[in-house]
Amino acid sequence: MHYTFKIERGNFTDAGQASSSVKRTLKQLGVDPVNIKRTVVALFEAEINAVAHAYGGTIDVDIDGEKIVMVVADEGPGIPNIDLAMQEGWSTASPQVREMGYGAGMGLPNIKKNTDDLKIDTKIGVGTTVTMTVYLT
Amino acid sequence: MPTGEIYFRHSLRVNDYLCQGCTTCMRTCPTAAIRIRGGKAVISDNKCVDCGECMKACPHKAIYIKQDDFGLIENYRYRVCLVPTTFIGQFDTKYKTKAIYSCLLKLGFTHIYEVEHEVPRMMELYNRYMEDHPEISTFISPYCPAVTRLIQVRFPSLVDNVIHVRAPLELASRVIVKRLMDDGARRESIGVFYVTPCAAKIAAVKYPVSGKETYVSGVINMDFLYNKVLLMLHDSDKNAQPINHALTARDVMWPLAGGEAVNFKGYQYAVDGLQNVLNFLEKLEDEAVDAPGLVEMRICDQGCVGGVLTTNDRFVARKRLEYRARLFERLENSKLRESSNEDNTLTPEWIKDMEIPDIKPRSIYKLNDNYAEAFKMAERMKKIEKALPGVNCSACGAPSCAALAEDIVRGDANADTCVFINPLSKTSKDAMNRIWGDRIKSNKEEQ
Ligand SMILES: Nc1ncnc2c1ncn2[C@@H]1O[C@H](COP(=O)(O)OP(=O)(O)OP(=O)(O)O)[C@@H](O)[C@H]1O
Ligand code: SF4
Ligand code: SF4
Ligand SMILES: [Mg+2]
């Protein structure tokens, strides 16, 4: 099953619709709550990153018999140093983003923790594509 | 309606004679438990959580709560009326509680017992449970039975966050039965009757999540008793006392939103009103809020004074209870209680009796127990949903197009019930097009 969503730049309040919609499907499938939570948490963090640090983008979710693959692709500045970005507490969030309650530098580490596979493709000045996989079994 | 194992039962009923099939109730139900069949609303047992929203919304007063025959009290020699303070909140503060209680005695009860007298013991039970479960960060109060059911069906991942302790009325009935038996009464001669503000409490007595025995012999609807008492109040000069010790200000406030949480150590939150409860649970489930501590949750706005069987405005009732609480404060009831010789301990038997062994997840979303089968159904459902117009007109008898799509894949409805897909005639099709644009689809989705 395939889902596509759009991410709008700077729209923090509407973020989360993709994860709610995916959550609904996973509940229909009777997926184990732990895996639902992992998926929802990871997808939400990646979406927020695209809202906060980039200029919006798209989300593609594929669910099959054994896994959930989520691809969050944005147009944005890219991530200069992924190793640094993966560190807990490291953040370049603007004061405005911090004002919204984000910017603890925990998003990417949280994604890492909650997914079975994480791939980050990034190109400076072009954008970032985050591919996350959660296995159901 | 689907058959299979039924694990919830209810006292909520639809009066087919009054029901106009207007769809109002169906659209308010938080669990999409209602369908129109044969022109009447039909409630699905496994989906309904007894929140009472449908009954509050029905413009024809066609939904009602079946209560026990009042005559039932005659079967007992000792007839205890178990009242929550919510009942007192229905009355003007010019009436003394003693006057209200004397009316209850005149109606045939032999003893009055106030449920909130058990607040200290309930607090101890909650605290014990929280101490015994250091691995849980957010605890949800089990006070409102509709919340527990809602969690079971819509947020099954949160069942372990609910404090596994039974309703206060169960403890109160055990305390009173023991007390009367200590005074020489035989168990079979004692009848305990609870005055309920809602359908959820009835379900908690009659079809408890714990699956355990109840000590409550019958349940009386609050509106019914209110009317009876009100008629007698003007010439009531009697001073009847409940047999429990005086309530404190804290006890009186317990059924109100915020009245419970405030008594606990550490962080507490008070969430009331269906929409707020849904939002909060959704966030808890997604870990989008960090809420360590105790969350009090009430389906009804303002708490139990907003219950569907209350008779007076919930804000007024709240004020009245606050007024009485202040009065009890001035009378220094809490000091009285402390210095009295009352026994506030919990017997090991009560502690065991009050435990809920297991709150089972009962997801209403899961399409099939078999993943592969569920997957096929979900795929088909998504396709059907796309083919439906998405205007949620309810003409098909389902609350939304998404609900119809689900009914179709579950085999509970046919696609041809959609008036957009299957317009009755050329004229009706043209008329629909004028209103809805080009949303009328051809019947192609199922190929
Ligand atoms: N999609 C993205 N485009 C550009 N930079 C990004 C992107 N995602 C993450 N980053 C960079 O990586 C840093 C760390 O990201 P991470 O999600 O871990 O923390 P954060 O977003 O700053 O704070 P938090 O997620 O805790 O609210 C960000 O501050 C930002 O510099
Ligand atoms: S009581 Fe609540 S859950 Fe049950 S049918 Fe009515 S609205 Fe739905
Ligand atoms: S808040 Fe009180 S009155 Fe309302 S459903 Fe819950 S227990 Fe019943
Ligand atoms: Mg982030």
Average pLDDT, chain B: 91
pLDDT reported for residue B1: 45
Nearest CA to ligand 2 atom 4: B48
In this structure, are residues B116 and B251 in contact, taking their beta carbons and an 8 Å threshold?
A: yes
Minimum mean pLDDT among A90-94, B89-93, B415-419, B420-424: which range? Answer: B420-424
How many Å lie between the alpha carbon of B40 and the closest alpha carbon of chain A? 28
- B374 vs A37: CB contact, 8 Å cut-off? no
B157, B375, B381: residue with CB nearest A33: B157
Q: Domain map of chain B by residue range?
A: 1-65, 70-354, 368-447
Task: Report CA(B56)–ligand 2 centroid distance (Å).
Answer: 10
Pocket of ligand 1, candidates A87, A90, A91, A98: which has the most ligand atoms within 8 Å of its Cβ, to mutate?
A91
Q: pLDDT at residue B248 above 70?
A: yes
3-state secondary structure of A133: strand
In this structure, are residues A65 and B415 in contact, taking their beta carbons and an 8 Å threshold?
A: no
Region A5-11: mean pLDDT is 87
Kindly state whether A113 is in contact with chain B, defined as any CB-CB distance less than 8 angstroms: no
A19, A28, A37: residue with CB nearest B374: A28
pLDDT reported for residue B420: 83
Region B201-217: mean pLDDT is 92
Region B47-75: mean pLDDT is 95
Per-residue confidence band for B445, with pLDDT thresholds at 50, 70 and 90: very low
- Condensed to tens digits (0 to 9), the pLDDT of residues A103-121 reads 899 999 999 999 999 999 9
Task: Report CA(B146)–ligand 2 centroid distance (Å).
Answer: 10
Please tell me the distance from the alpha carbon of residue B408 to that of residue B382, in angstroms, as a whole number. Answer: 11
Q: pLDDT at residue A65 above 60?
A: yes
Minimum mean pLDDT among B13-27, B62-76, B359-373, B412-426: which range? Answer: B412-426
Region B426-438: mean pLDDT is 74
Most confident of B93-102, B269-278, B327-336, B381-390: B269-278
| A34: chain B residues, CB-CB within 8 Å | 157
**Other C-beta atoms within 10 Å of B93: how many?**
15
Tally of domains within chain A: 1
Look at residues B116, B112, B126 and name the one whose alpha carbon lies nearest to residue B249. B116
Nearest CA to ligand 3 atom 8: B198
A16, A28, A41: residue with CB nearest B365: A28
A88, two tokens: 């807990």
Minimum mean pLDDT among B102-116, B262-276, B283-297: which range? Answer: B283-297
Q: Look at B149 and B240; give whichever has higher pLDDT.
A: B149
Q: Look at B102 and B238; give whichever has higher pLDDT.
A: B102
- Condensed to tens digits (0 to 9), the pLDDT of residues B380-422 reads 999 999 999 899 999 999 999 999 999 999 999 988 888 888 7
> Nearest chain B Cα to A2, which residue?
B379
| B287: chain A residues, CB-CB within 8 Å | 37, 41
Q: pLDDT at residue B224 above 80?
A: yes
Q: What ipTM was reported for this prediction?
A: 0.82
Look at residues B364, B52, B14, B70 and name the one whose alpha carbon lies nearest to residue B203. B52
Amino acid at A93: A
- B286 vs A44: CB contact, 8 Å cut-off? yes
CATH value of B368-447 in 3.40.50.2300, 1.10.357.10, 2.30.110.10, 1.10.15.40: 1.10.15.40
In this structure, are residues B55 and B308 in contact, taking their beta carbons and an 8 Å threshold?
A: yes
Per-residue confidence band for B243, with pLDDT thresholds at 50, 70 and 90: confident
How many Å lie between the alpha carbon of B382 and the closest alpha carbon of chain A? 9
Region B121-130: mean pLDDT is 96
| Radius of gyration, alpha carbons of chain B | 24
pLDDT reported for residue B441: 55
pLDDT reported for residue B434: 77
B287, B369, B378: residue with CB nearest A28: B378
B379, two tokens: 């795929």
Look at residues B258, B295, B327, B299 and name the one whose alpha carbon lies nearest to residue B88. B327
Q: pLDDT at residue B437 above 70?
A: yes
Instruction: For residue A56, give its domain range.
Output: 2-135
Q: Closest ligand 2 atom to the C-alpha of B55?
A: 6
pLDDT reported for residue B432: 74
pLDDT reported for residue B440: 59
- Interface probe for A, chosen from B138, B287, B386 (most Cβ of A below 10 Å), is B287
DSSP classification of residue A130: E
Look at residues B421, B424, B425, B428 and name the one whose alpha carbon lies nearest to residue B391. B421
Q: Closest ligand 2 atom to the C-alpha of B34?
A: 5
Q: pLDDT at residue B16 above 80?
A: yes
Percent of chain B with pLDDT over 70: 96
> Nearest chain B Cα to A33, which residue?
B157
A29, two tokens: 């499938």
B365, B368, B382: residue with CB nearest A27: B365
Average pLDDT, chain A: 92
B41, two tokens: 């609303």
| Cα–Cα separations (whole angstroms), residue A17 to A3, A22, A60 | 12, 9, 13
Pocket of ligand 1, candidates A8, A49, A84, A121: which has the most ligand atoms within 8 Å of its Cβ, to mutate?
A49
Q: Look at B65 and B343; give whichever has higher pLDDT.
A: B65
Domain B1-65 has CATH 1.20.1250.20: no
Per-residue confidence band for B443, with pLDDT thresholds at 50, 70 and 90: very low
Task: Report CA(A118)–ligand 1 centroid distance (Å).
Answer: 15
pLDDT reported for residue B439: 63
Task: Report CA(B40)–ligand 2 centroid distance (Å).
Answer: 15
Task: Report CA(B12)–ligand 3 centroid distance (Å).
Answer: 14
DSSP classification of residue A116: S
Please tell me the distance from the alpha carbon of residue B7 to that of residue A116, in angstroms, as a whole number. Answer: 36
Residue ranges lining ligand 2, Cβ < 6 Å: B 12, 28-31, 33-34, 43, 48-54
CATH number at residue A15: 3.30.565.10
pLDDT reported for residue B6: 80
